Structure 1
Amino acid sequence: MRIRSMTTRLVIPLMAVALVATGCGGDDADAPEGSAAALGTTNDINPKDVSELRDGGNLRLSLSALPQNWNNLHTDGNEGNTLALSRPMLPRSFKTDAAANLSVYTDYFTAVELTNTEPQQVTYTINPKAVWSDGTPITWEDIQSQANALSGADKAFLIANNIGFDRVEKVERGVDDKQAIITFKKHYADWRGQFAGNSFLYPKSVTATPEAFNKSQVDGITLTAGPFLVQSLDRGQGRVVLGHNPKWWGAKPKLDTITFSVLAAEATIPALQNNEIDATGLASRDELKTARNTPGIAIRRAPGNQWNHLTFNGAPGSPLADPKLRVAIQKAIDRQGIATAMQNGLVQDPKPLNNHVYLQGQQGYQDNSLPFDPAAAAKELDELGWKLNGDVREKDGKKLEIRDVMYNQDVWVQIAQIIQQNLAAVGVKLNIETKAGSGFFTKEIQPGNFDVGQWTWLGDPFPLSSLNQIYGYNPDDVQGNYGRIGSQELNDLIEQTISELDPKKAIELANKVDRKVFEEGHSLPLMQSHGNVAVRDNLANYGAAGLASLDYTKIGFLK
């Protein structure tokens, strides 16, 4: 499941936090050692045995805004701030190591198995000790309720992604209340990710009705089931404190609390210097230098599964409704030039991301992109009737002028300025519009208030689960396809891909999907996270996690 983020500043578990760099020029001599490593091969979290950690302590992290909805399955909660807060508090079925190898999250489930293929059946056996924070047992009914909510059968549930539950025929009780058997009516390739990665299991009280699903978590999260729960929430100060869950049945956390504070992007490095937070992503060479020169700070790095992109608005009546126009414009954007300008000095060999489905280093990654070709772009614009009139092209008396909408942060603006120059060279005028972090998705992106939108996708080891969410075109069920672009041909190809239980065949089909996404001018991937994170040097088992899950019971400060 893909989670969206408007900013590079989130310290998000499972992935490196920094995405792009401000500043241009220079060489890569200052790039951190190991920055040529591939995603899925390493992480950098200062691993230590818990015996080396002191009891107690407060881990201080930052957010760009408080969640609009604390239910990350809801369309308003499908963003990085919600994810960061939820990971220490909610159940998942699988965890991953640095190489993205999966293992059952035994605190919550003793077994998760594909027990039949015709029909496909998956059996979840819940840990007998697992309870919600009010002491209520976690049971098969929680799984059944969530499957029903995400099925898409009732459009009143405002879901961000169906995560394959539209393919589920039924969920039944197994040998007892602690076992659920999911039977699929159609095969689902990414079945392991339905309660894993960026997707959590919620109590049935949250998923039983549309009213509860849509509104019960708006003001804050209710029942949880992790080592931590919300101890306090101060909206005025923009601060959330997580404390120990007294009903937690697993290993006792080393930390006493985790504090999340809402900070503007430009405030995170000063907060780190002033010992107000303990970790932050580094978005520029200047920030990297500042962090290196700050006493008590270490630089952690592992390539992350966070990537930024441009989404085009192709809704009927929009300026970019014509796919040929979108493709022509995309061919005029120099993605290698952007990567070089923004990431030089932060990675050893900056490269653009050339795939919508897989990240560099993931099995399945290949370059399916269209070439940077401004001459072809100009020719295609001419053929479409957009003729130069001075500096800007016109057609039927209308100028080729588009709005690029983004979170108000320097890195996004500088990327937009490079794109602005690229497009000006072929007679397209790009206007840059910056927006506040609070309500960025609910007020701007979800309603389609953009011609081109910039934000970050936060992925997980289950990329196929996001294909329909983002690239499927279902006019009555937008989910994450905010540009409202697609075709029946692409829908059919997505359906074929997510129905394929053979992993190798699924990868081949997913790359066909990716190529078709490029050809429809849906969106344009720019860069993958470079993964530089500044962390207190005495903080262990936390930092640049790569594809690995973090264990919140083992994060802590050295003795």
Structure 2
Amino acid sequence: MSHDHRVGSRAVTRSAAFLAAGLLTVPLLTACGEKDAAGRPLAGQDTAPASRGRIADGGTLRWAVDAVPETFNTFQADTDATTSRVAQAVLPSLYRLDANGRPERNADYLESAKVVDREPKQVVVYRLHQQAVWSDGREIGAADFAAQWRALSGRDSAYWTARNAGYDRIQKVERGASDLEVRVTFGRPYADWKSLFSPLYPKQVTGTPDSFNDGARRKLKVTAGPFALQGVDRESGEVTLVRSPRWWGRTAKLQRLVLRAVPRDERLKALLKREVDLAEVDPDQARRISLAGRSGGQALTRGPGAGLTPAAALRSWAVAHGSDEAAADEETDARHRLRAARARYAAQQSALRGYTVRKSLEPASTQLALNGSEGPLADERVRRAVARALHREELAGLVLTPLGLPAEPVGSHLALSGQAAYADGSGALGDEDTEEAEALLADAGWVRGGAVKAGKTGKTGKTGAGGARKARPGRTADDAEGPEDSEDSEGSEDDDGTYIVGEDDKPGVGEAGAPRTGRRPDDDVARRLVRNDRQSARERAQQGGAPGAYAPKGTAAPAGAPDGPVVKDGKELVLRFVLPSGPGSGTLRVVGERISRMLARVGIRTRTTKVPDDSYFTDHVANGQYDLALYSWPATAYPATDARPVYAKPVPAADGSLSIEQNFTRLGTDQVDQLFDQAAATLDEDEAVSLIRKADARIWAMAGSIPLYQRPQLMAARTDLANAGAFGLRTPVYEDMGFLKKPPAPAPPRRP
């Protein structure tokens, strides 16, 4: 699982839950004849754009990635982000995404692509670039299109494919009027036809099951892009791409592009050693790089001894020069160590001066997922109460404001601002409103002040009376009794401890402005994030919000109702909140803590369990072992195709189990499925957009997942690197990347 737990675009399982969608009122959304609701991207690219004339010819760009890919076939199940990067640089993509995250024709491969017939069959004609050839000299043509269609159509189980959406609708692929024309006839209409054949593999890869399954896993002998795959060194963790001599487009400025596997917690070290030129970094690393650039690399406003006051320095000097020889020796050694640490830190900051931080918003959004398959969250009113308790603007600001990025919540499950299908559909659920949340809970039978039966704290075990508490490693929270279990510590970052947050945990202000939560934030990122932009519950409650579906405004629990957790049938409402514990997940943990406190205000307690990163998704989210979880979904320009598995209604599988595809909240409706199917089948783009927006409004109303914020994209880049960095929604243009030419040396002064 990658940083911040992004979910890939394909998956394998399904489950079921009941949802009374017929009781919900959804606002009417239209796309035709009205102002476009898609807007603009919240943040643009930050890539240090430069004309090709300013870029030197040659050079090697070393780009840090998460891992060397297991396969170079993007249509296999174990593909990853590095697989996609390689494919973008070495293979044809008929369409790529523009700055708004919308598909645009790639003129290096396509002269045109049009739907020439709609009835009785949809027919698309592709006219290829006259010079488009594979690296072996063969023309790109219908044989490659046909081989890829047959491999991905799903008709031959010998091909190990992870997805066949769209290809399964094709009836035939044939040569057109010339070798440069390809006619694709669809058996069923397909709105997202632009998503097909990107990337396009040569028929040598897709022509047989053996070549498809194994031939492209470790190598790509035949390519057709500005770069070619030279080799893979798995021992050193490097993938090397070289400038392709067969490329007919603009010649790549770089001679080599090396994708180097560097763990995220080791990237600052790699930057200090000048081992990489471009690397995605976490917020704390980004701040240190930015500080080096502002301070010239020398000022020790942070780092060893940065908090040493003049009085403390004077005391240290006095002890080092005092009459107590043992104390003086110890203090002198400490002063020497501090000076050495300061010197190392200053040298490191000087080394970081060669880098800058380029930032944008990633084409992915972080969401709070609510597992609706069992327990209290199987009741839609409880899910909606959770959603109405959240102040999404505050959560977005918590993450994005300290980074100088737009702190606007994501308003759609299916698109990001700027993309054609985007519209803010959150009105179907309503804004934060604690009174509405309490009313929804009361309507579901969860009320404050009820008697709690001994041992009854919902399905997650007893909480005790101490508010936030954490079980020691190796012990369950049920065993965590006694004062020793209330330590103000959270353990190491790979600790998988458990603690409870409830109404007893009143936010206070502790050291350096951090909230007193009964536990210490476990990294510097957390400490900085928790200081950002607080707003009291009273101020937020005064803002109000849209009424809920079951309990209109004014039907909340009686004024003056007692504080404390909500109770039903003698049980407190306690939700299992699972969060990752790895070093790259500090932001998620801080967001999770803030969510827990928002829920506590309406009487919902959370049992938060930190689990190792490698098991967080597979063992908990995908298996349904959670009530609440945080993870990210990538954006797509083709939501009718790519987002449908994420929100499809679970159905019985052949073995009697329930198949959930990628719907890890296990909630869905026939109506949402039908809207996706209709959007995928219409060739009217405006109608397709309208259908997707309607589907999104109904997904909001289910309250199975709550989009929070668009993920920050922070890239450390060499200061002389151009046309590379934080790409935002746009597909990188690899042939334009390179290093700026060095300015000419000044002429020597003339002698008199």
Pairwise TM-score range, normalised by the shorter structure: 0.7 to 0.9
One of 503, 507, 525 as aligned partner of 2:689: 507
SS in 2 for 1:305: strand
Asked if residue 380 in structure 1 is aligned to residue 380 in structure 2, the reply is: no
Q: Which has the higher contact order (CA 8 A, sep 6+)?
A: 1
Uncovered stretches (5+) of structure 1, i.e. residues with no partner: 11-36
1:539 to 1:497, Cα distance in 2 relative to 1, 3 A:
same
Within 1, Cα distance between the matches of 2:368 and 2:220? 31
1:272 to 1:427, Cα distance in 2 relative to 1, 3 A:
same
Within 2, Cα distance between the matches of 1:40 and 1:423? 28
1:417 to 1:239, Cα distance in 2 relative to 1, 3 A:
farther
1:311-351 alpha-carbon deviations (Å, 9 max, x no partner): 4445x568855555444433333322211111113236411
1:523 to 1:296, Cα distance in 2 relative to 1, 3 A:
same
Q: Higher mean Cα deviation, 131-140 or 83-92?
A: 131-140
On the 8 A contact 1:423/1:430 being kept in 2, the answer is no
On the 8 A contact 2:67/2:82 being kept in 1, the answer is yes
Match of 1:31 in 2: none
Q: TM-score, normalised by structure 2?
A: 0.62
1:382-431 alpha-carbon deviations (Å, 9 max, x no partner): 54456774657677979743242547322222222222333444324243
Identity %: 30
Match of 1:171 in 2: 173
What is the 5 A alignment of 1:531-546?
531-546=713-728
Within 1, Cα distance between the matches of 2:384 and 2:96? 38
Count of residue pairs brought into register by the alignment = 523
- Superposed displacement of residue 225, structure 1: 2.6
On the 8 A contact 1:39/1:304 being kept in 2, the answer is no
| Paired residue type of 2:123 | Q
Match of 2:308 in 1: none
Within 1, Cα distance between the matches of 2:249 and 2:231? 22
1:504-534 alpha-carbon deviations (Å, 9 max, x no partner): 2222221111111122233221111444433
Within 2, Cα distance between the matches of 1:252 and 1:107? 12
Match of 2:606 in 1: 429
Match of 2:86 in 1: 85
Within 1, Cα distance between the matches of 2:74 and 2:366? 20
On the 8 A contact 2:579/2:592 being kept in 1, the answer is no
| Paired residue type of 1:169 | Q
SS in 2 for 1:87: helix
1:332 to 1:74, Cα distance in 2 relative to 1, 3 A:
farther
1:372 to 1:82, Cα distance in 2 relative to 1, 3 A:
farther
| Paired residue type of 2:144 | D
Match of 1:260 in 2: 259
On the 8 A contact 1:297/1:536 being kept in 2, the answer is yes
One of 592, 601, 607 as aligned partner of 1:416: 592
One of 361, 367, 385 as aligned partner of 2:424: 367
Within 1, Cα distance between the matches of 2:740 and 2:124? 41
Within 2, Cα distance between the matches of 1:171 and 1:518? 39
Match of 1:558 in 2: 740
Within 1, Cα distance between the matches of 2:178 and 2:621? 44
| Paired residue type of 1:329 | V
SS in 1 for 2:643: helix
What is the 5 A alignment of 1:14-413?
38-39=40-41, 42-77=44-79, 79-99=80-100, 103-118=104-119, 119-153=121-155, 159-195=161-197, 199-208=198-207, 213=212, 216-219=215-218, 223-284=222-283, 287-293=286-292, 294-314=352-372, 323-347=380-404, 349-369=406-426, 370=429, 371-384=431-444, 389=457, 400-406=574-580, 408=582, 409=584, 410-413=586-589
| Paired residue type of 1:298 | T
Within 2, Cα distance between the matches of 1:54 and 1:327? 56
Within 2, Cα distance between the matches of 1:474 and 1:9? 23
One of 433, 449, 455 as aligned partner of 2:631: 455
Within 2, Cα distance between the matches of 1:73 and 1:324? 40
| Paired residue type of 1:234 | D
Within 2, Cα distance between the matches of 1:203 and 1:325? 52
Match of 1:16 in 2: none
Q: Higher mean Cα deviation, 155-164 or 41-50?
A: 155-164
1:415 to 1:42, Cα distance in 2 relative to 1, 3 A:
closer
Larger proportion of helix: 2
Within 2, Cα distance between the matches of 1:359 and 1:178? 35
- Superposed displacement of residue 378, structure 1: 4.3
- Superposed displacement of residue 246, structure 1: 4.6
Match of 1:19 in 2: none
1:276-314 alpha-carbon deviations (Å, 9 max, x no partner): 222234542662353352423334344442322234445
1:379 to 1:319, Cα distance in 2 relative to 1, 3 A:
closer
Match of 1:20 in 2: none
On the 8 A contact 1:163/1:465 being kept in 2, the answer is yes
| Paired residue type of 1:71 | N
1:291 to 1:161, Cα distance in 2 relative to 1, 3 A:
farther
Larger proportion of strand: 1
Within 2, Cα distance between the matches of 1:458 and 1:124? 28
1:189-212 alpha-carbon deviations (Å, 9 max, x no partner): 2322223xxx42223454456665
Within 2, Cα distance between the matches of 1:404 and 1:511? 30
Within 1, Cα distance between the matches of 2:267 and 2:592? 22
- Superposed displacement of residue 264, structure 1: 2.6
| Paired residue type of 1:127 | H
1:227 to 1:455, Cα distance in 2 relative to 1, 3 A:
farther
- Superposed displacement of residue 432, structure 1: 3.6
On the 8 A contact 2:4/2:631 being kept in 1, the answer is no
Root-mean-square deviation (CA), in Å?
A: 3.6
1:449 to 1:113, Cα distance in 2 relative to 1, 3 A:
farther
Match of 2:328 in 1: none
Q: Higher mean Cα deviation, 521-530 or 146-155?
A: 146-155
- Superposed displacement of residue 114, structure 1: 1.9
SS in 1 for 2:111: strand
1:445 to 1:236, Cα distance in 2 relative to 1, 3 A:
farther
| Paired residue type of 2:436 | A
1:463 to 1:382, Cα distance in 2 relative to 1, 3 A:
same
On the 8 A contact 1:60/1:276 being kept in 2, the answer is yes
Query: Which one has the largest radius of gyration?
Result: 2
| Paired residue type of 1:45 | T
One of 439, 454, 468 as aligned partner of 2:644: 468
- Superposed displacement of residue 538, structure 1: 0.9
SS in 2 for 1:543: coil
Within 2, Cα distance between the matches of 1:137 and 1:396? 73
- Superposed displacement of residue 491, structure 1: 0.6
1:285 to 1:265, Cα distance in 2 relative to 1, 3 A:
closer
Within 2, Cα distance between the matches of 1:154 and 1:347? 51
